[in-house]
Chains A and B, each alone.
Chain A
Amino acid sequence: MIEIHNLTKNFGMKPVLRGVNLTVERGEFVALMGPNGAGKTTLLRIVASLTRPTLGRVRVNSFDLPAHADSVRRVLGVVSHHTLLYGDLTAEENLRFYGQLYSVENLSKRIDDVLNQVGLSKRRHDLVRSFSRGMAQRLSIGRAVLHSPDVMLFDEPHTGLDQEASAMLDKLLKSVAAQGRSVLMISHDLPRSLQLADRVTILSHGKIAYDSPTKNLSLADFAKTYNELAQ
């Protein structure tokens, strides 16, 4: 579960987030949308413990940030548009490396399971630099779920993927969310967010300007609201 209360972040004198309040319940999939520069990635980086907040309270699974950053990192899986993978290592070596950093038990078995889950078992001994963008992104999701985190953060995971790879990634995202995890995903893709998420929120000028369940929300209404708020 993610709880964000009155979160403010300034870079120097420039405010990026101005009192953001947002909660992602256990098992809930929330899509965070907004124009470029709205502060989405900054918000995600703060929840991921990579950036310190200026003011406000952020809790992940009841652990406060930044005070209990180590405990938060243990329950967090992050997928960004950077895959965080090493091109000169094989798929299996990449997972083994991250598994050792997270002290994953029965690592070899867990690597087998994860490679099966992301459909890359046959490519386990191939160098990641030989992978297509779609395959690397699937492996990146495998890396992020390797330590069985309760909370998943996705920062524009569909960036640079073609239709087929995006559809495959959607399937994977659904299966990740279906396992009872709290998911917060940044996206610019309105139809896809409506299809995947339980709730959509719009961040505009550093504040949550819109928050609605996706059930009974039509794409046309949402697109209209988004365009109004994004200006």
Chain B
Amino acid sequence: MKSYLQAILAIAHKDLAAEIRSRELVSAMLVFSLLVVLIFNFALDLDKSARENVAAGVLWVTFTFAGTLGLNRTFAAEKDRGSLDGLLLAPVDRTAIYFGKLISTLVFMLLVEAVVLPVFTVLYGISLFNILLFGVILLGTFGYGGVGTLLACMAAQTRTRDVMLPILLFPVTVPVMLGAVRASTGILANAEWGEILTWINILVVYDVIFVAVAVMVFDYLIEE
């Protein structure tokens, strides 16, 4: 168990250290997400109440688009430089690779989200600084990153990996997007707690199911 956890942390640490040096992925995700927020701001020239209605949707579209950029490189970069074999040659359970990659993906996504939130607040005039909303963002990001890491591994084995990931990912993450947008909208509109809780429950169930599925199938997906 100790070596399993050590392997997970080693993989996550390696990805984070490499990103701190290169600053390729997070900066691209960040610039892209800020552009999306800006474009929506100008495209949807709405009054205040209309903005409140679409804010959560715009926020999650931004997070998912930026997340897809990061996920696309999770395994593709390893595959391109041939280092995926180095991970596969290690005498550790393959799911350690999945969890290591999931941790680094979540850190990248959460970093970008932490910058986007204040910018979004200023541009849309809606305060997003709400503990409950942060919880929903964590759950939604975890669900999206969990499925995305699994499917990124699958897409990396294909020749059309760059276009394959969004095609695979977006339909599968409809429940997590629905849950995240509805829960966020409810929180921003001060809706009834019971209404919000339903969507939070959907998010939790989705997260648990898909991480369990990932643990079961990752071994088969990552092998040739």
Contact = CB atoms under 8 A, between A and B. Distances in A.
Interface of A: 48-52, 70-71, 73-74, 76, 78, 80, 82-89, 93, 97-98, 100-103, 127, 143
B91 A50 contact: no
Contact of A102 (B17, B83, B88, B91): B91
B190 interface: no
B7 A101 contact: yes
B27 to A, nearest CB: 14
A80 B83 CA distance: 10
A74 B91 contact: yes
Nearest to A99: B10
A88 B91 contact: no
B117 interface: no
CB-based closest 7 A-B pairs: A82-B82, A84-B86, A100-B10, A101-B90, A88-B18, A73-B91, A88-B21
A97 B10 contact: yes
A80 B85 contact: yes
A103 B82 contact: no
Given A100-B7, A103-B3, A93 B17 contact: yes
Majority SS of interface residues in chain A? Answer: loop
A84 B10 CA distance: 15
Interface residues of B, number: 26
Contacts of B178: none
Contacts of B14: 86, 89, 93, 97
Given A89-B14, A103-B6, A49 B82 contact: no
Interface of B: 3, 6-7, 9-11, 13-14, 17-19, 21-22, 81-83, 85-92, 223-224
B81 A73 contact: no
B91 to A, nearest CB: 4
Contacts of B18: 86, 88-89
A51 B91 contact: no
Contacts of B224: 50-52
A80 B82 CA distance: 9
Nearest to A147: B91
24 contacts: A50-B89, A52-B224, A73-B90, A74-B91, A80-B82, A80-B85, A82-B82, A84-B85, A84-B86, A86-B18, A86-B83, A88-B18, A89-B14, A89-B17, A93-B14, A93-B17, A100-B7, A100-B9, A101-B10, A101-B11, A101-B91, A101-B92, A102-B90, A102-B91
Given A85-B83, A101-B10, 18 more contacts: A50-B85, A50-B89, A50-B224, A52-B224, A73-B90, A74-B91, A82-B83, A84-B82, A85-B86, A88-B17, A88-B22, A93-B17, A97-B10, A97-B13, A98-B86, A100-B6, A101-B92, A102-B91
A82 B14 CA distance: 18
Contacts of B223: 52
A51 B83 CA distance: 16
A49 B17 contact: no
A110 to B, nearest CB: 15
B94 to A, nearest CB: 10
Contacts of A100: 6-7, 9-10
Nearest to B9: A100
Nearest to A140: B86
Contacts of A88: 17-19, 21-22
